[in-house]
């Protein structure tokens, strides 16, 4: 009942002159080097992810199962000169996965070609059909949710980094994707913001199903409870995830909600208080276990100072997942919930 | 950008033996007697709303514009022996409006017939296309939202009663419907629980647009912030509505969320506290102005006791909209926000 994408991947980069529009592909290559067998660039491309260049035919021979549309065209459209690649991928027997505004099925003839070739066109913005209403029923296993003060504050990166840290320590853990890039990285997930509002918490329940008692689902968050546009998504995800624990994600220095200059970003304390107050509805024991900050605008000395003062104020570990890694949060989680002895 | 239904109406009651399945029609007849010109019953019907019996042809001659599907078939389906009525309505030049699970367009041949006749098939569960993301921008006019401790606690009835009381006092007020029956009653609105989660608050903004400074939108609530399944709908509606004021709707004696026996209904105080805490994101001045209780399980003496003790505890007017009317809430609202002198 989740969106599913078969690895390994061929990453399509188009003819983008720079990396600005290929962030999706970069994220996939960074987090899933094992799953990325090649890249496909058109003449004029100025990007190199360091992967072997392959045609769809070569990729199919190398074992690739899916062409990932790793670029964002202007306005989410699919430029006409990129469409021949879609057809050659389909004809080579590859599934095609994209998150473009223009649905793949809107490309004239592509659906028929895919049907004929027996491959799938995966529109990652389309949620599964027949999603249920959330039941609120407790399920086995443990869940850690990223809670943002805003959009674009490192929720996906933090979740991926924590899941990786856990796995490397031999803990049972899965990253659970709720957004397009996350779904492409992990090969599955739920495009939660595209789900009809009645079914958001039900979709979140499906995304993190019952599991072993010592298994952690590390769930990518979306939006913010304090976001004037996206709070519904955030609350449905919170209630459906029933998190045992959450990590606050925040960008140092951001004062107002991204693209909403009249709306202040909440303080970390406010977000913790609100998340506990309303998250208690489906998990009375929900608690914050750490803070993950974007500090890339700071000097090394400033970063050190902000991380330690925040940790002191909140009384919880505070990291920059890029600069310091997330080990202190996983340590704290294991101290709190019991984990694998190191 | 809202769903719109043209009055006056012909109410279709099918061949239902009793009133249990024609609550929608009863609600419309109760709240919009002016808009209901007739009823259409099939042989075997045991229901009479006291309206003239009409065929679609007779209704069209009498000026009716829309046949309202006022019955709920088993599982929301449209039984085959009811479909001839749909065709005669369309052929008589009436729009048809329904909220059935089976879409009207799924009835074989009906869409073609409607096209030929130049009438609309209005599936009230389908939200408008191209809804925007909520902006959070303040708009003129005042808004009063119903906030429920649960589903089915009188939110629609309370909102309709308050809007009626306001209008009768000469205040500028509109009921704003967020659910199917409410939309049929008012002839317009937004099926908010069918909106994709990213756009719920944007849809709520459209539902209660800028208006005169002394105009009240009285907005039907949905779900509850404490509902494990529907809280996303509730929060998106709250943030998009930017209510200046809210009324808590609750049923006396209900201890757990309807159909969720493991989830307690929050106390009125808890709901007020939570609604203010999170509603402040888009309206820092949001406040509770009263409590509306369903007390139909109580004796007259018990009701009086509960209403007065609740009013004392909360420090706000407390009514049963059916038994006592909602005047004390409108009085309090006018005292608080300034209104028409009585």
Per-residue pLDDT band for A45 (boundaries 50, 70, 90) equals very high
Tell me: pLDDT of B18 over 90. no
Query: Nearest CA of chain B to the CA of A172: how many Å?
Result: 27
Q: Do B232 and A197 touch (CB under 8 A)?
A: yes
Query: Nearest CA of chain A to the CA of B238: how many Å?
Result: 9
Q: Do A197 and B200 touch (CB under 8 A)?
A: yes
Residue A147: name the closest of A287, A261, A28 by CA: A287
**Which residues of chain A lie closer than 8 angstroms to B239, CB-CB?**
228, 231-232
Tell me: pLDDT of A340 over 70. no
The pLDDT assigned to B103 comes to 87
Residue B52 at interface with chain A, using a CB cutoff of 8 Å: no
Mean pLDDT of A83-99: 96
Per-residue pLDDT band for B342 (boundaries 50, 70, 90) equals very low
Find out whether B107 and B83 touch, Cβ atoms under 8 Å: yes
Using only the alpha carbons of chain A, give its radius of gyration.
20
Lowest-pLDDT range of A14-23, A209-218, B130-139, B242-251: A14-23
DSSP H or E segment with residue B146: strand B142-148
Find out whether A199 and B199 touch, Cβ atoms under 8 Å: no
Q: Looking at domain A142-337, which CATH architecture does it have?
A: 3-Layer(aba) Sandwich (3.40)
**Which residues of chain B lie closer than 8 angstroms to A191, CB-CB?**
none
Partner residue facing B235 (CB), from A192, A232, A260: A232
Chain A's closest residue to B280, CA to CA, is A226
Mean pLDDT of A38-64: 96
d(CA B111, CA B115): 6
**Which residues of chain A lie closer than 8 angstroms to B133, CB-CB?**
229-230
**Which residues of chain A lie closer than 8 angstroms to B236, CB-CB?**
197, 231-232
**Which residues of chain B lie closer than 8 angstroms to A236, CB-CB?**
197, 231-232
Tell me: pLDDT of A342 over 50. no
Q: What percent of chain B has pLDDT over 70?
A: 98
Query: Nearest CA of chain B to the CA of A286: how many Å?
Result: 15
The pLDDT assigned to B199 comes to 97
Mean pLDDT of A141-165: 97
Tell me: pLDDT of B73 over 70. no
The pLDDT assigned to A2 comes to 75
Please name the residues between 239 and 258 in chain B that touch chain A, using a CB distance below 8 Å. Answer: 239
Mean pLDDT of B32-39: 96
Chain B's closest residue to A192, CA to CA, is B197
Mean pLDDT of B159-165: 98
Residue B219: name the closest of B197, B244, B184 by CA: B244
Backbone angles phi, psi at B319, to 5 degrees: -130, 160
Per-residue pLDDT band for A74 (boundaries 50, 70, 90) equals low
d(CA A268, CA A251): 10
Q: Which residue has the higher pLDDT, A338 or A334?
A: A334
Mean pLDDT of A77-88: 91
Q: Do B133 and A198 touch (CB under 8 A)?
A: no
Find out whether B129 and B146 touch, Cβ atoms under 8 Å: no
d(CA B137, CA B282): 8
Chain B's closest residue to A133, CA to CA, is B229
The pLDDT assigned to B341 comes to 47
**Which residues of chain B lie closer than 8 angstroms to A197, CB-CB?**
192-197, 200, 232-233, 236
For the CA atoms of B101, B104, B108, B110, the dihedral, rounded to the nearest 10 degrees, stands at 170
The pLDDT assigned to A224 comes to 98
Partner residue facing A235 (CB), from B134, B235, B277: B235
Query: Nearest CA of chain B to the CA of A333: how many Å?
Result: 26
Partner residue facing A228 (CB), from B136, B197, B229: B136
Query: Nearest CA of chain A to the CA of B274: how many Å?
Result: 8
Residue B62 at interface with chain A, using a CB cutoff of 8 Å: no
d(CA B241, CA B282): 8
Give bridge partners of residue A294 from the DSSP assignment.
Answer: A251
The pLDDT assigned to B21 comes to 84
The pLDDT assigned to A70 comes to 86
Mean pLDDT of B100-113: 91
pLDDT in tens, B188-228: 999 999 999 999 999 999 999 999 999 999 999 999 999 99
Chain B's closest residue to A266, CA to CA, is B281
**Which residues of chain B lie closer than 8 angstroms to A192, CB-CB?**
197
Query: Nearest CA of chain B to the CA of A134: how many Å?
Result: 4
The pLDDT assigned to A77 comes to 79
Residue B274 at interface with chain A, using a CB cutoff of 8 Å: yes
Q: ipTM of this complex > 0.90? A: yes
- Beta-strand relationship, B260-264 and B256-257: antiparallel
- Residue A47, CA distances (Å) to A12, A26, A53, A71, A193 in order: 11, 10, 12, 11, 30
Mean pLDDT (chain B) is 95
pLDDT in tens, A231-243: 999 999 999 999 9
Mean pLDDT of B135-153: 97
Residue B232 at interface with chain A, using a CB cutoff of 8 Å: yes
Mean pLDDT (chain A) is 95
pLDDT in tens, A94-115: 999 998 888 899 999 999 999 9
d(CA A165, CA B163): 56
Mean pLDDT of A326-335: 97
Q: Do B137 and A282 touch (CB under 8 A)?
A: no
The pLDDT assigned to B268 comes to 98
A142-337 shares the fold of A3-123: yes
The pLDDT assigned to B122 comes to 95
Partner residue facing B195 (CB), from A192, A197, A231: A197
Per-residue pLDDT band for B46 (boundaries 50, 70, 90) equals very high
Mean pLDDT of B79-103: 93
d(CA A26, CA A50): 10
**Which residues of chain B lie closer than 8 angstroms to A137, CB-CB?**
262
The pLDDT assigned to B289 comes to 98
Mean pLDDT of B230-239: 98
The pLDDT assigned to A272 comes to 98
**Which residues of chain A lie closer than 8 angstroms to B263, CB-CB?**
136, 281
Residue B131: name the closest of B220, B198, B231 by CA: B198
Kindly list the domain boundaries of chain A, sorted by start residue: 3-123, 142-337
Residue A137 at interface with chain B, using a CB cutoff of 8 Å: yes
Chosen from A136, A228, A232, A263 to mutate, greatest number of chain B CBs within 10 A: A232
The pLDDT assigned to A339 comes to 67
Find out whether B256 and B264 touch, Cβ atoms under 8 Å: yes
How does A145-169 read in b/e, with b if 16+ C-beta sit within 10 Å?
A: bbbbbbbebbbbbbbbbbbbbbeee
CATH number assigned to the domain covering B3-123: 3.40.50.720
């Amino acid at each position: 009942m989740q969106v599913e994408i078969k690895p390994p991947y061929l990453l399509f980069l188009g003819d983008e002159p720079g990396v600005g529009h290929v962030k999706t592909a970069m994220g996939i290559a960074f987090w899933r080097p094992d799953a990325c067998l090649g890249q496909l660039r058109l003449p004029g491309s100025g990007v190199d992810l360091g992967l072997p260049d392959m045609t769809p035919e070569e990729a199919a021979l190398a074992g690739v199962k899916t062409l990932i549309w790793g670029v964002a065209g202007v306005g989410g459209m699919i430029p006409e000169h990129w469409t021949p690649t879609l057809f050659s991928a389909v004809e080579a027997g590859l599934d095609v996965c994209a998150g473009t505004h223009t649905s793949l099925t809107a490309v004239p003839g592509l659906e028929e070609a895919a049907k004929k070739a027996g491959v799938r066109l995966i529109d990652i913005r389309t949620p599964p059909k027949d999603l249920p209403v959330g039941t609120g029923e407790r399920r086995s296993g443990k869940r850690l949710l990223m809670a943002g003060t805003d959009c674009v504050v490192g929720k996906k990166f933090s979740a991926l980094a924590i899941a990786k840290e856990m796995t490397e320590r031999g803990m049972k853990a899965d990253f659970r994707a709720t957004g397009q890039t996350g779904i492409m990285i992990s090969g599955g997930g739920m495009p939660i913001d595209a789900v009809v509002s009645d079914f958001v918490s039900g979709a979140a329940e499906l995304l993190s199903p019952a599991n072993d008692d010592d298994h952690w689902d590390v769930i990518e968050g979306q939006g913010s409870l304090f976001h004037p546009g996206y709070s519904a998504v955030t609350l449905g995800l919170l209630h459906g995830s029933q998190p045992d624990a959450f990590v606050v994600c925040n960008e140092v220095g951001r004062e107002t909600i991204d693209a909403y200059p009249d709306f202040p970003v909440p303080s970390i304390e406010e977000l913790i208080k609100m998340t506990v107050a309303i998250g208690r509805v489906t998990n009375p024991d929900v608690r914050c276990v750490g803070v993950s900050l974007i500090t890339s605008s700071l000097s090394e000395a400033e970063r050190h100072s902000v991380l330690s003062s925040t940790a002191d104020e909140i009384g919880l570990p505070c990291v920059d997942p890029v600069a310091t890694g997330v080990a202190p949060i996983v340590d704290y989680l294991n101290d709190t919930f019991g984990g694998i002895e190191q």
